[in-house]
Structure 1
Amino acid sequence: MSITTTTHLNFHGDARAALTFYQSVFGGQLVVATYGDMGMPAEAPGADQVVFGSVESADGFRVMAYDVPGVSAGPAAAAGSTRRVDGTTVTDQPFFVSVRGETLDEVQQQWDVLAGGGTVVEPLAASAWSAGFGMVTDRFGVTWVLDVAGAPAAQ
């Protein structure tokens, strides 16, 4: 048996912008279908919002997203927050999206784009378990955990 797990993100009117942004970070193919594409009258409110969207890259990145129908509160409206307090991560978000790369250079490139317009929770740096680990909440309110596979370099 084989199973694939894909993170599905719920947005409030900005799923298309978020998916386009994630494609710019991770590459891959963007697929977007709107409520209008599925038969909602074009003049109906929300017809241009995303009912199904995904980004999938050849190297294994995959995320799906849609706009919650009837809700258009804008970026990060219901995302919650994540922060560091006294050496611990405190959050009211139900999940983080974790991405692991093979090299620090690869992860650094992704980090730099995700952090643009976002909030750094934990700076990308060497840790006891990785050559690079960090947490960032992007401009859409999604918190990402990025790290480098394998043990850190000997010091």
Structure 2
Amino acid sequence: MAISTTTHLNFRGDARAALEFYQSVFGGHLTVVAYGDFGMPKDLPDADKVVFGQVTAENGFSIMAYDVPGQAPAAAVPAATTRANGMTLTGERFFVSVRGETVEEISPLWDGLADGADVIEKFGPSPWAPGFGMLTDRFGVTWILDVTAPYAG
């Protein structure tokens, strides 16, 4: 039996736009179901918000998202970020990590996510990987993209 994990993001009214954006970056199949599709009266404020959303791609990428019911949209405000002794420090509780085998595989994903993003660390070579970068996208989600490299220690 295999176990897998999928990141599930919680939004406040912009889950549909975020999922469409992630599909444009990673490709794959988009599924979006609104609260109204599950029987919520269409005239209620949250009826058009996402109760279940997912992007799955053939390359293994998968992400889920929904809109927290009863929440007003929140501005995407990246957490404070500083550099200390060559390390990136942020106030974020989590990052979404995307790893690939080559720079050529990861670079287009970086370019897509960087559209409208706050770049924390520009994608490029690092001491531990042929490619590494960190950004907070236009929806306030912080992503790490890197290229896997064998441990040299």
Settle same-fold status: TM greater than 0.5: yes
User: What does residue 31 of structure 1 align with?
Assistant: 31
User: What does residue 83 of structure 1 align with?
Assistant: 81
2:38 is paired with a residue whose SS is coil
- Calculate the aligned-residue CA RMSD, in Å: 1.6
Could you tell me which runs of 5 or more consecutive residues in structure 2 were left unpaired when the two chains were aligned.
none
How big is the shift at 1:76?
Answer: 2.2
How big is the shift at 1:82?
Answer: 4.8
CA distance in 2, matches of 1:82, 1:18: 22
Matches within 5 A, 1:1-155: 1-76=1-76, 80-86=78-84, 87-151=86-150
TM-score (norm 2): 0.92
Instruction: Indicate conservation of the 8 Å contact 2:14/2:73, yes or no.
Output: no
How big is the shift at 1:57?
Answer: 0.4
How big is the shift at 1:101?
Answer: 1.3
Instruction: Indicate conservation of the 8 Å contact 2:30/2:55, yes or no.
Output: yes
Instruction: Indicate conservation of the 8 Å contact 2:13/2:68, yes or no.
Output: yes
How big is the shift at 1:103?
Answer: 1.4
Instruction: Indicate conservation of the 8 Å contact 2:98/2:145, yes or no.
Output: yes
Q: Give structure 1 regions of 4+ aligned residues with deviation exceeding 4 angstroms.
A: none
Aligned residue type for 1:90: L
Aligned residue type for 1:95: F
Could you tell me which runs of 5 or more consecutive residues in structure 1 were left unpaired when the two chains were aligned.
none
Instruction: Indicate conservation of the 8 Å contact 1:82/1:89, yes or no.
Output: no
TM-score (norm 1): 0.91
The alignment-based identity, stated in percent, is 58
CA distance in 1, matches of 2:73, 2:31: 23
1:89 is paired with a residue whose SS is strand
